Amino acid sequence: MKLHPAFLLAAVGCALAITGCGPKSDTAAKSAPTAASAEKIKLGFLVKQPEEPWFQFEWKGAEKAAAEHGFELLKYGTTDGEKVMGAIDNLAVVGAKGFVICTPDVRLGPQIMARAKQKNMKVVTVDDMFVLPDGKFMTDVPYLGMSASQIGESVGKTLFEEAKKRGWNLEETGVCLITFEELDTARERTEGARRALEAAGFPAARIFKAPQKTTDIPGSFDAATSLLTRQGGIKRWLIAGMNDNAVLGAVRAMEGRGFNSETVIGIGINGTDCIDELRKPKPTGFFGSMLVSAPFEGYETARLLHVWVKEGKAPPLETRTPGIFITRENFEAVLKREGIL
Ligand code: FCA
């Protein structure tokens, strides 16, 4: 597939263009509050890391779908399995008919589905696909998420092109690949980046994996710090990871060792968790991000679930969303267009 460095769109299966969150409607606002809320369908939206802007933007999109289509949205930050089970029970008590979930652990899939079935609730997964005990995906549960491999490849290709554009000596350059391989969507993204870098001609021996123990900035900071200790001779770094926070932690670790925007090129994924970084008056090693529309993902999963509950029409089993490359130059305009700013 040909990828353009400035505007990268990747899609698998049922591809969706990023179009914001659908048509505006004021029907919800007009309906009589008491009668309408008595009849309103209740749906849950459970996310694993409620502190991450990514998930807050997903909620925002889902709220928009609820307002437009007249259902009630119940949001839960479910950071572990116990909280997920508690939220499902809670939803059942209030009469909810289903929920969208980004699970804190993909291996909880079978347990979550058993509980949902017991409570007669429909489930749509977002971002992180459930897996079975044998490691295979639970492909019978509707899923919507990014085209992880292609977006990862776009990161790798763009990193290589930017290094070449700057005339970097690749002999003195290393790749810091912040990995979290226990999560499939994360592994697909970082493997995509690695593959594209190697295909472009980056020496495989200088692509270093730095596994993060937790998927937050401290987790990637620690992973990068230990890599920098092991590879003290590298003069310039390219950084890739599963999301913006993975790259941000590595950028911070490198700054602590004297690296800066002249010696580091980092490209994240999400585009929602790097807004403050791209707004900094002085450029940092965080060069850009592959933006995926979190509001769209939240809107669309909630909408699909609502249609399923209301009309009995099941969502497609797999829907993939594309990425758009953003940098300090274009992020304000693109994020505004996507309803994020
Ligand atoms: C995973 C990551 C999030 C986001 C999402 C699309 O759940 O943890 O940061 O990238 O996929």
* Blockwise average pLDDT, block size 10, the chain, 341 residues: 29 34 36 59 98 98 98 98 98 98 98 98 98 98 98 98 98 98 98 98 98 98 98 98 98 98 98 98 98 97 98 98 97 94 92
Distance in Å, CA 324 to ligand 1 centroid: 16
Distance in Å, CA 27 to ligand 1 centroid: 32
Q: What lines the ligand 1 site, CB under 6 Å?
A: 52, 54, 102, 127-128, 146, 185, 215, 243, 269-270
Count of residues for the chain? 341
- Protein residue with its CA nearest to atom 6 in ligand 1: 127
What pLDDT, on the 0 to 100 scale, is given for residue 229?
97
- Protein residue with its CA nearest to atom 11 in ligand 1: 127
- Rg, Å, the chain Cα set: 21
Distance in Å, CA 243 to ligand 1 centroid: 7
Whether the model pTM is above 0.85 = yes
Distance in Å, CA 76 to ligand 1 centroid: 16
Inter-residue contact 77 to 101 (CB < 8 Å): no
What pLDDT, on the 0 to 100 scale, is given for residue 39?
80
How would DSSP label each residue in 52-75?
A: SHHHHHHHHHHHHHHHHHT-EEEE
Q: Which two tokens stand for residue 180?
A: 């979290």
Distance in Å, CA 155 to ligand 1 centroid: 15
Distance in Å, CA 242 to ligand 1 centroid: 7
The C-alpha angle 243, 47, 79, rounded to 5 degrees, equals 95
| 199 CB-side CA count, 13 A | 15
Alpha carbons 227 and 97: distance in angstroms, whole number: 47
What pLDDT, on the 0 to 100 scale, is given for residue 27?
36
What does DSSP assign to residue 183? S
For the CA of 269, the closest atom of ligand 1 is 10
Nearest Cα neighbor of 202 from 190, 210, 214, 193 is: 193
Probe ligand 1: pick from 102, 182, 188, 320, max atoms within 8 Å of CB? Answer: 102
- Protein residue with its CA nearest to atom 9 in ligand 1: 243
- Protein residue with its CA nearest to atom 5 in ligand 1: 127
Number of H helices, E strands in the chain: 12, 13
For the CA of 146, the closest atom of ligand 1 is 6
Distance in Å, CA 286 to ligand 1 centroid: 18
Q: Which two tokens stand for residue 252?
A: 């911070």
Amino acid at 38: A
Give the relative orientation of helices 217-230 and 244-255 as an angle to the nearest 10 degrees.
Answer: 50
Distance in Å, CA 55 to ligand 1 centroid: 8
What element of type H or E holds 115? helix 109-118
Alpha carbons 24 and 12: distance in angstroms, whole number: 28
